[in-house]
Amino acid sequence: MLAQNNEKRGGLRQQLSKTLRYLRIYGLGRTWFKVAGRMRTPLVLRSLRPGRVAGRDIAMIGCGQFAFATIGYFIRRRFGNRFAECFDPATPAATSFAKFYGIPQPSATAEAAIHADAVRIVYIASNHASHTPYAVEALAAGKTVYVEKPVAVSLEQMCRLAAAARSTTGKLYAGYNRPFSGAIGQLRPHCQGQQGPLTLSCFISGHVLGPDHWYRRAEEGTRICGNVGHWLDLAVHMLSWNTLPDRWTVMLAWSNENARDDDVSISLTSERGDLVNIVLTARNEPFEGINETINVQWGETIAKIDDFRRMEVWQGSRNRVHRFWPKDVGHGAAILQPFKPGRPWREVELSTLLMLHITAMVKAAQRHSEFSFSAASAQLEAAIISGTSNASDSAIAG
């Protein structure tokens, strides 16, 4: 009993310490939403208060922690309580989301939420393999769609999503948020106009995922889709500031043959000489969540981004330091894309094709391949035109 009490006290101390750290990183409002999203007790939810009621026109598909504490937080802060419908197969998550956001009751199915007359915008933050089917359904209904990353976990899904996006009046936005971060926005003017090659290095300390974590399910696309897609998308976005090279050599190295998407290094070199290196490691749990260090060298510009809380930029003898508080990974601006101009969808398509190529390499234990954006895009368009969605994931591994 004494050991159990000590363990309980230790757990409480750790949670308190983490909350205090989050307060320093994110501020009071965002931290309290994170706490509420985890606990979802009536007392905590009442302490937040759902805010003013706005025109209810949003359906939330997937009511987990990210939907409640991130999407919900930024929607509520900008517009007030705008959710009209919600759905999650986990009843407690759907019920607590509905109660807090003033929805009379959760929808019985995702389809019911999507097709509700009041719904104009659909946010999708469910499990990864379900993103494409829900997005296709919502686009077919003419809705504006915001789909969390990854937008697809297979080339067959990407073909379906791309075909839906091309044949509907609905608009489609993706939850890749790093391009919307304050640091990347500040860095862009220093890099636009560069004609030479880019060197981009991303080192990510990620969450430890146990063997039974849902990311590990075969249909969910590995951590390449679940995590690494963020930094592949960032690379495509940054390269697109100038000219995105077409042909790339891709090399992978992993430390554990039985978990090739953990503790993995991905190196991409372009025909122009660009070098992109991404290292995802998960050897222990980062106390404050995912931690990122990003280094850039492009022409006369050198930059270092420290966890999207601080950035230092050097240009010759000139040196600038930018600080971002609260920590700005770009969630707010990304989530609000349906209400203002977003980034070009073409960038997301291209980064997804590259992500799926690397996913196929990891699944096949393939360490080296060649990739072409134009060839992958042509394969995608051919599948859309044929209407068969029969493009092969293994074919894109080169």
Q: What is the CATH number of domain 16-174?
A: 3.40.50.720
Structure tokens at 233: 């998308």
* Helical pair 2-26 and 28-39, crossing angle rounded to 10 deg: 140
pLDDT at 41: 83
Tokens 């003013």, located at residue = 52
Comparing CA positions, the residue from 264, 278, 311 lying closest to residue 201 is 278
pLDDT at 396: 45
DSSP state, 148? P
Contact indicator for 178, 329 with CB cutoff of 8 Å:
yes
Class of domain 180-332+345-397 as given by CATH? alpha beta
Structure tokens at 44: 């905590």
Residues 6 or more apart whose CB falls under 8 angstroms from that of 48 comprise 32, 33, 36, 100
> Left, alpha or beta for 52 (phi > 0: left; psi -120 to 50: alpha)?
beta
The pTM of the full predicted model, rounded to 2 decimals, is 0.93
> Left, alpha or beta for 359 (phi > 0: left; psi -120 to 50: alpha)?
alpha
pLDDT at 36: 85
- Give start-end residues of each CATH 3.30.360.10 domain in the chain: 180-332+345-397
Provide the residue-wise pLDDT of the chain in tens; the chain has 398 residues: 545 454 555 567 888 888 899 999 999 989 988 888 888 887 677 766 656 666 899 999 999 999 999 999 999 999 988 999 999 999 999 999 999 988 999 999 999 999 999 999 999 999 999 999 999 999 999 999 999 999 999 999 999 999 999 998 889 999 999 999 999 999 999 999 988 999 999 999 999 999 999 999 999 999 999 999 999 999 999 999 999 999 999 999 999 999 999 999 999 999 999 999 999 999 999 988 999 999 999 999 999 999 999 999 999 899 999 999 999 999 999 999 999 888 999 999 999 999 999 999 999 999 999 999 999 999 999 999 887 555 555 444 44
pLDDT at 1: 52
Cα distance between residue 187 and residue 238, in whole Å:
10
Structure tokens at 382: 């051919």
Structure tokens at 123: 């946010």
* Helical pair 28-39 and 72-79, crossing angle rounded to 10 deg: 130
- Give start-end residues of each CATH 3.40.50.720 domain in the chain: 16-174
> Left, alpha or beta for 392 (phi > 0: left; psi -120 to 50: alpha)?
beta
Burial class of residue 340 in the structure, from the number of CB atoms within 10 Å of its CB (0-12 exposed, 13-18 middle, 19+ buried): exposed
Q: How many helices (H) and strands (E) does the chain have?
A: 15, 14
Three-state SS letters, 335-357: HCHHHCCCCCHHHHHHHHHHHHH
pLDDT at 280: 98
pLDDT at 394: 44
Alpha helices (runs of H) in 128-178, residue ranges in sequence order:
131-140, 155-166
Cα distance between residue 103 and residue 310, in whole Å:
39
Cα distance between residue 200 and residue 31, in whole Å:
31
Burial class of residue 185 in the structure, from the number of CB atoms within 10 Å of its CB (0-12 exposed, 13-18 middle, 19+ buried): middle
pLDDT at 398: 43
Burial class of residue 218 in the structure, from the number of CB atoms within 10 Å of its CB (0-12 exposed, 13-18 middle, 19+ buried): exposed
Comparing CA positions, the residue from 166, 102, 110 lying closest to residue 133 is 110
Pairing label, strands 318-323, 368-372: unpaired
